[in-house]
C-alpha cells in the first residue's frame, strides 16, 4: 500500500451491471433497460442507454462487459446493413439474432456479454430472441443482467400471452423498477423501446417517474 | 450477467476431485437448497417453505419439513446446511424451553431470534445457516426476524431466504401490502414459493405452510398437482 495505485475503479473492468428485458405483445415487442454502468463500486455512467439499434425495426439490449456488448452490437449492425442491402428489404429478426449468436458462440471463451434481440418483421411480427452463452432461442419474454434474477418470479406471474401495447409497456417498467430497487448494479433511469409495424417509439422514465412499492 | 448464466445453465465444466465412478452426491454436503419465507399479518405470521433437500444433484429428501417448531407459538425456517441448521435449531429449542419455564410464560419471538443470532454469530466461520424466525407473542403480536448467514438479526414485515428467494424479490415487492389477512398471506406465500420452485433447481417438491397466531398453529401442505400454475414456456 506504499505505492500510489489510483482509485480502485480505474483498474476494474467496466461492466453494465444491469437489468434488461424484452417482452413480446400482440403486434410488436417492448425492450427495456436500466442505465447504470459500473466499474467495481463506482458508477461510471448513470444514464447509459443499453438499448442499441441493429436495424430500423430491430433492437438489442446489452448486458455484461460494456466493451464486449457494444462491439457485438456494432458488428452486427454493420453485418445487417450489408445483408439488408443484398436482400433488398428489411431483415428478419431471426437473422439479426442469428448474427449475434454467431459472434457470441464463436468467441464465447473470450467474450462476456449477453445480448437480447427484439424486433418486428413482416413475416413473424414481434419476436424476442435470447442469445445467452451462444445459444439461440425464441421466447415470449427474455431477461438478462444481474438484476434479472430478482424479477423472474414477478414476470412469470404477471406475463400474459396476447397482451396489448400499453399493458406490456407498463409491465416492463414495473419489472425494471423492481429489479433496480433490489440490484445494486442496476439503477438510474429506465429506457423503453417499443417496436411494431408502424415504427419505433423510444421513452425514458426518470427516477421520480418510476413506480414505487410498499416499502419505498 | 455471469451470475445469470450460472443460474440458468448450471456448471459448464464438471470438476471432480474424487473417482468418476462414484456419483457426485456421495461427496457433497447435504444442503437445504431452498426457498423459505415468512410474512406478518395483523394477529400472527404465515411461514412457508419448499420441501427439497439436496446432496449435490441428488434430492435426498423430497418431502422435507423446513418449518421447525421452536416453541408453542414460534417457528423457524431453515436454509443452508441441513446439519448446521438442525443443530442450531435443537440448541435454541432447548435454551428457549428452559427460559420459558423460568419465566413461567410464553417466550418472546425476539428472544428466540436473539438466541439464534447468538449462535449464528459466534460460530459464523464454521456455519452455513440462513434462518428466519417467526411467531406470535402477546407483547408485539406477529413478528418475523431474519437471521441470515453471518449472524445479523433484523425484524422485517416480510422476509424471504434460501437460494430460490432471489427470483421472487420482485414478486414480493410488488404483491405484499401491509395489513393483509391470514388467507391473503397464505395465498401470497403459496404463489411466491411456487414461482421460486419453478426457477430454482434446488427448490421443489411441495409447499409447506404454517399460520401462527394467539389461538394456535395451523399447518397446511400444497401438493404438486394443486400448486398454482404460472406461465412456463
Contact B155, B112 (CB under 8 A): no
Say which of B3, B169, B176 has its CB closest to residue A214. Answer: B176
Tens of pLDDT, residues A15-34: 657 999 999 999 999 999 99
Q: Is B103 exposed, middle or buried (0-12, 13-18, 19+ CB in 10 A)?
A: exposed
> Residue A181 and residue B7: Cβ atoms within 8 Å?
no
Question: Which value does ipTM take for this structure?
Answer: 0.82
pLDDT in tens, B108-162: 999 999 999 999 999 999 999 999 999 999 999 999 999 999 999 999 999 999 9
A5 located within any domain: no
Domain membership of residue A7 (yes or no) is: no
A168 SS3 class? helix
CB–CB contacts below 8 A, A to B: 101
Q: How far apart are the first and last CA of chain A?
A: 41
CB A138 within 8 A of CB A176: no
Q: How far apart are the CA of B162 and the nearest CA of chain A, in angstroms?
A: 13
Residue with cell string 411456487: B194
Residues A41-74: pLDDT tens digits? 889 899 999 999 999 999 999 999 889 999 999 9
Q: Residue A1 above 50 pLDDT? A: no
Residue of A nearest to B197 (CA): A153
Distance (Å) of CA B16 to CA B21, B22, B31, B63:
10, 10, 19, 29
Band of residue B7 on the pLDDT scale cut at 50, 70, 90? very low
The residue in chain B having the minimum alpha-carbon distance to the alpha carbon of residue A211 is B174
Q: Nearest by CB to B198, from A18, A65, A156: name it.
A: A156
Distance between CA atoms of residues A202 and B202, nearest Å:
39
Percent of chain A with pLDDT over 70: 93
Q: Is residue A138 part of a domain?
A: yes
- Cβ A156–B230 below 8 Å, yes or no? yes
The 10s digit of each residue's pLDDT in B51-68 is 999 888 889 999 999 999
Residues 6+ apart with CB under 8 A from A55: A77, A80, A81, A84, A90, A91, A96, A119
Give one DSSP letter per residue of A55-104, joined into a string.
Answer: ETTEEEEEEEEHHHHHHHHHHHHHHHHHHHHHHTSPPPHHHHHHHHHHHH
Rg for chain B, CA atoms, rounded: 18
Asked if residue A165 is part of any domain, the answer here is yes
Q: For residue B8, name the pLDDT band (cuts at 50, 70, 90).
A: very low
| Within-domain flag for A104 | yes
Separation between Cα atoms, residue A159 and residue A176, nearest integer Å = 14
User: pLDDT at position B17, please?
Assistant: 46
The reply to whether residue B173 touches residue A114, judged by beta carbons under 8 angstroms, is no
In a domain, A6, yes or no: no
> Residue A85's domain is classified under what CATH number?
3.60.20.10
Q: Which residues of A touch B198 (CB under 8 A)?
A: 156
* Distance, CA of B16 to CA of B23 (rounded, Å): 10
pLDDT score of A12 more than 80: no
pLDDT classification of B4: cutoffs 50, 70, 90: very low
Predicted TM-score (pTM) of the model is 0.84
Backbone region of residue A199 per phi and psi (left: phi > 0; alpha: psi in -120 to 50; beta: other values): left
The whole-angstrom separation of Cα B27 and Cα B16 is: 10
The verdict on residue A134 lying in a domain is yes
Residue A174, in any domain of the structure: yes
Number of domains into which chain A is organized: 1
Give the structural domain span for A184.
20-215
Q: Which of B166, B178, B192 sits opposite A150 (nearest CB)?
A: B166
| Residue in A closest to B192 by C-alpha | A153
Reply yes or no on whether the pLDDT at B12 is more than 50: no
Amino acid at each position: 500500500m506504499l505505492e500510489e495505485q489510483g482509485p480502485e475503479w480505474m483498474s476494474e473492468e467496466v461492466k453494465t451491471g444491469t437489468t434488461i428485458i424484452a417482452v413480446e405483445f400482440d403486434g410488436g415487442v417492448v425492450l427495456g433497460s436500466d442505465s447504470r454502468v459500473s466499474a467495481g463500486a463506482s458508477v461510471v455512467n448513470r444514464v447509459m442507454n443499453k438499448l442499441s439499434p441493429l436495424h430500423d425495426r430491430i433492437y438489442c439490449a446489452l448486458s455484461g462487459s460494456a466493451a464486449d456488448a457494444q462491439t457485438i452490437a456494432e458488428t452486427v449492425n454493420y453485418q445487417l446493413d450489408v445483408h439488408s442491402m443484398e436482400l433488398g428489404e428489411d431483415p428478419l429478426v431471426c437473422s439479426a439474432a442469428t448474427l449475434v449468436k454467431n459472434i457470441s458462440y464463436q468467441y464465447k471463451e473470450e467474450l462476456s456479454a449477453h445480448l437480447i434481440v427484439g424486433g418486428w418483421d413482416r413475416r413473424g411480427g414481434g419476436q424476442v430472441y435470447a442469445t445467452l452463452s451462444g445459444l439461440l432461442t425464441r421466447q415470449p419474454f427474455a431477461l438478462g443482467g444481474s438484476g434479472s434474477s430478482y424479477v423472474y418470479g414477478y414476470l412469470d406471474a404477471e406475463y400474459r400471452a396476447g397482451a396489448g401495447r400499453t399493458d406490456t409497456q407498463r409491465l416492463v417498467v414495473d419489472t425494471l423498477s423492481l429489479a433496480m430497487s433490489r440490484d445494486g448494479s442496476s439503477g438510474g433511469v429506465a429506457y423503453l423501446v417499443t417496436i411494431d409495424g408502424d415504427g419505433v417509439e423510444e421513452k425514458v422514465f426518470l427516477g421520480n417517474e418510476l413506480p414505487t412499492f410498499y416499502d419505498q | 450477467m455471469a451470475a445469470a448464466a450460472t443460474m440458468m445453465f448450471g456448471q459448464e465444466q464438471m470438476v471432480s476431485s474424487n473417482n468418476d465412478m462414484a456419483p457426485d452426491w456421495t461427496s457433497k454436503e447435504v444442503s437445504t437448497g431452498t426457498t423459505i419465507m415468512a410474512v406478518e399479518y395483523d394477529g400472527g405470521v404465515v411461514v412457508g417453505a419448499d420441501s427439497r433437500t439436496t446432496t449435490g444433484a441428488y434430492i435426498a429428501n423430497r418431502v422435507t419439513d423446513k418449518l421447525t417448531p421452536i416453541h408453542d407459538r414460534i417457528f423457524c425456517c431453515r436454509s443452508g446446511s441441513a446439519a448446521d441448521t438442525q443443530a442450531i435449531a435443537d440448541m435454541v429449542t432447548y435454551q428457549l424451553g428452559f427460559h420459558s419455564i423460568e419465566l413461567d410464560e410464553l417466550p418472546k419471538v425476539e428472544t428466540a431470534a436473539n438466541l439464534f443470532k447468538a449462535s449464528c454469530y459466534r460460530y459464523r466461520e464454521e456455519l452455513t445457516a440462513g434462518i428466519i424466525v417467526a411467531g406470535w407473542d402477546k407483547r408485539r403480536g406477529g413478528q418475523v426476524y431474519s437471521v441470515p448467514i453471518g449472524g445479523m438479526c433484523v425484524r422485517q414485515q416480510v422476509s424471504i431466504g434460501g437460494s430460490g428467494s432471489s427470483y421472487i424479490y420482485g414478486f414480493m415487492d410488488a404483491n405484499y401490502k401491509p395489513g393483509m389477512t391470514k388467507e391473503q398471506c397464505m395465498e401470497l406465500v403459496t404463489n411466491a414459493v411456487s414461482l421460486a420452485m419453478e426457477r430454482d433447481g434446488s427448490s421443489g417438491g411441495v409447499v409447506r405452510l404454517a399460520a401462527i397466531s394467539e389461538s394456535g398453529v395451523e399447518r397446511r401442505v400444497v401438493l404438486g398437482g394443486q400448486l398454482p400454475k404460472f406461465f412456463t414456456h
